[in-house]
């Protein structure tokens, strides 16, 4: 597998409205988009730092994945997403190597990317997303 | 504050020897250095993905910060480190804005960088490191 860069870091927050001013005023980043991903029961806010985006994730439903994560672990880093090409092939490749997949097939994530998650039990505790930008 | 890029992501693992083969064989990254940081009671292994390093952290002491983190939360993402210039000035600046500092003054971290941590209570749960490479 060849990872070109870290596409984004997903960060779980209780409230985008509370967290965005910290990222903008203290860290000096600019929130360039807010998007709801209904499928994942989240609202997301995006910032860019060099090659990598920070994706703040606010749950829209306590039973959604981010709602449950915050209840269990509190706010904080949630996942890391690596940019890949030929995502479907990459999933087959890592599955053959014994990695447990959360998504057997790519699905649509925020910003129109094709995404798939690897299970943290296979990745030493790091919820890992692979993503491909087919619009590029 | 101006953040040029994400310098590294710190990831807590129980064992470097167990985790490194996953990063090398599955993700296709190359471990280019292993370093002990006695002050922090860790052994670290470094990989590079685009602009950003992944820093695996193995505790050398159950009472050290990574040992305690793993006991409480398990393996996983531990901190995010942003590259800055004039780190001392940045610390004064964010403290004036009400951010709680873990390190009042820069100290030496892995790879000879000057580093300082911001407290996760002030950063919406994300243990945040600012670092400056004065060798550049």
Structural tokens at position A14: 């209780």
CA distance B72 to A72: 12
pLDDT value of residue A39: 85
Residues 6+ apart with CB under 8 A from B89: none
Interface test with A, best of B124, B127, B128, B130 (most A CBs within 10 A): B124
**Residue B117 — very low, low, confident or very high, per pLDDT cuts 50/70/90?**
very high
Is residue B109's pLDDT more than 90? no
DSSP per residue over B77-123, as a string?
EEEEEEE-SSHHHHHHHHHHTTPPBS-SS-EE-GGG-EEEEE-GGGT
Find, among B78, B90, B67, the residue nearest to B2 by Cα: B90
This prediction has a pTM of: 0.95
Residue from A31, A55, A76, A97 to probe the interface with B (highest B Cβ count within 10 Å): A76
Can you tell me the ipTM of this complex?
A: 0.94
| Closest CA of chain A from B50, distance in Å | 4
- What are A61's two structure tokens? 């439903």
CATH superfamily, domain at A5-132:
2,3-Dihydroxybiphenyl 1,2-Dioxygenase, domain 1 (3.10.180.10)
Distance of alpha carbon A82 from alpha carbon A30, whole angstroms: 22
Q: Mean pLDDT per segment of 10 residues, for chain A of length 136 residues? A: 94 98 97 93 96 97 95 95 96 96 93 93 97 87
pLDDT band at B1 (very low <50, low <70, confident <90, very high): confident
Lowest mean pLDDT among A122-126, B85-89, B91-95, B107-111: B107-111
Nearest CA in chain B to A100: B26
Q: Can you tell me the distance from the alpha carbon of B41 to that of B54, in angstroms, rounded to the nearest whole number?
A: 18
Residue B59 is predicted with a pLDDT of 98
Q: β-strands A52-59, A6-13: how paired?
A: parallel
The 10s digit of each residue's pLDDT in A101-116 is 999 999 998 888 999 9
Residues in chain B with CB shorter than 8 Å from the CB of A17 are none
* Closest listed residue to residue B109, CA positions, set B50, B51, B42, B27: B42
Which chain B residues contact residue A5 at CB under 8 A? 49-52
Least confident of A92-101, B8-17, B33-42, B118-127: B33-42
Cβ contact, residue pair A27, B82, below 8 Å: yes
Note the pLDDT of residue B134. 86
- Exposed e or buried b per residue across A79-99, where buried means at least 16 C-beta atoms within 10 angstroms of its C-beta: bbbbbbeebeebbeebeeeeb
Place of tokens 């619009």: A135
Contacts of B119 in chain A (CB under 8 A): none
Chain B residues with CB-CB distance to A97 below 8 A:
25-26
Domain ranges of chain A: 5-132
């Amino acid at each position: 597998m060849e990872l070109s860069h870290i596409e984004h870091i997903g960060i779980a927050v209780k409230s985008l409205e509370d967290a965005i001013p910290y990222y903008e005023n203290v860290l000096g980043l600019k929130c360039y988009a807010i998007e709801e991903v209904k499928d994942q029961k989240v609202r997301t806010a995006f910032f860019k730092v060099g090659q990598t985006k920070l994706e703040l994730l606010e749950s829209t439903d306590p039973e959604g994945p981010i709602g449950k994560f915050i209840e269990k672990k509190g706010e904080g880093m949630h996942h890391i997403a690596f940019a890949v090409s030929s995502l479907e092939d990459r999933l087959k490749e890592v599955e053959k190597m014994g990695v447990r997949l959360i998504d057997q097939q790519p699905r649509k994530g925020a910003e129109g990317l094709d995404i798939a998650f690897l299970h943290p039990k296979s990745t030493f505790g790091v919820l890992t997303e692979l993503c491909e930008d087919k619009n590029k």
